[in-house]
Amino acid sequence: MRLRKRTVEVFSLSFLDCICCGFGAIILLLVLTEYGKPIQIEESRRNLQGQVLALTEQLNEIRGDSDLLNRELKGKLETLEHERMKLARLAGDLTHVQGEYSASKQEASVANIVEAELVSAYQTLSEEMQRLLAQPQKPKTARADVVGGIPIDSEYVIFIIDSSASMTTNHWDTAMQVLREILDIYPHLKGLQVMNDQGKLMMPRTRGQWLTDSPAQRDEILKYMKNWHAFSASSPVEGIEEAIRTYWSADKRVSLYVMGDEYTGDSYQTAIDAINALNKVGPNGQRMVRIHAIGFPAGANMTPFTSIRFSALMRMVCEQNGGTFVGITRESRS
């Protein structure tokens, strides 16, 4: 009985030893299995960091190349714009030359026709006509109310001057000279006024009033003009409208002199309609005020497009409003 009991105890201990050994083997396997993973993770982390650094370097290189390409593109765009402006100026010069050539051909053709007609008429003159023709002729005098093709029958004159940078930079001395020459056409005026193309007066405190004409007043106007700076949108329409609204009167003969080198408005017809709506035709068949214009050429580094537009607009405005357009093609440089 005692031996049997001993055998059972030994068997139990052996079984427990086997179980413990089994658990120990399993734990050992788990330890051996997990032992390599931290090393692999560390290696993977180092590989990923290397890849991130390599990609960062590539990104910086791409950004550098992109900045370089953008600078090159900007330079090429500026060069292209410069060439376009140069091409536009050359096109304007070509148009001007072609216009002068066409005008010269037309004038020569007309002169030849007139000369031929005069010769033919002279051949058919009677002896009495030839005798009268040989007598000294009294020189014809120009009409007192027209100088250089410009009617000077007005007693009140308003100057509307483009005060934009293109004018003040390129043409201001010439504009002052033209202003003086126009004033010299009129020995004496009952009133005069000066405003810019936006309708802003050179002397703001005189709004609604006429400046009294005198040699001192004319000198003062030129003195003011020398340093006059006022905002301008390079469109004469606003100044013309302001002049007609503020200064027209049924008992006054008024002339406007518009001086400029650009028209930046959207439409010729819109501008002409706006002016004609104010400057109505009177019972005598004439407009309320005369509108004359002096056009200046395109300045340096400017495309002639807006200058041509000013000339085209003001030719039509002058034609419809009893005035004369004068285009300045050459300016004296001091």
* 110-134 confidence digits (pLDDT tens): 445 444 444 444 444 445 445 554 5
From CA 267, how far away is CA 253, in angstroms rounded? 29
CA end-to-end span of the chain, whole Å?
Answer: 145
Instruction: Give 232's contacts (C-beta < 8 A, 6+ positions apart).
Output: 162, 163, 164, 167, 196, 197, 198
Spans of the chain below 70 pLDDT: 1-17, 23-25, 27-42, 88, 91-151, 331-334
Q: Give the H or E element holding residue 256.
A: strand 254-260
pLDDT of residue 103: 47
pLDDT of residue 126: 46
Contact 195, 160 (CB under 8 A): yes
From CA 44, how far away is CA 110, in angstroms rounded? 96
pTM assigned to the model: 0.57
From CA 248, how far away is CA 235, in angstroms rounded? 21
Query: How crowded is the C-beta side of 244, counted as CA atoms within 13 Å?
Result: 19
Closest Cα partner for 232 from 260, 257, 255? 260
The CATH class, in words, for 150-327 is: alpha beta
Q: How big is the CA angle at 260 (ends 168 and 316), to the nearest 5 degrees?
A: 175
pLDDT of residue 161: 97
Instruction: Give the other-Cβ count within 10 Å of 53's Cβ.
Output: 10
pLDDT of residue 96: 60
DSSP 139-200: PPPPPTTEETTEE---SEEEEEE--SHHHHHHTHHHHHHHHHHHHHH-S--SEEEEEETTS-
Contact 318, 276 (CB under 8 A): no
pLDDT of residue 295: 94
pLDDT of residue 75: 79
Q: What's 287's DSSP letter?
A: B
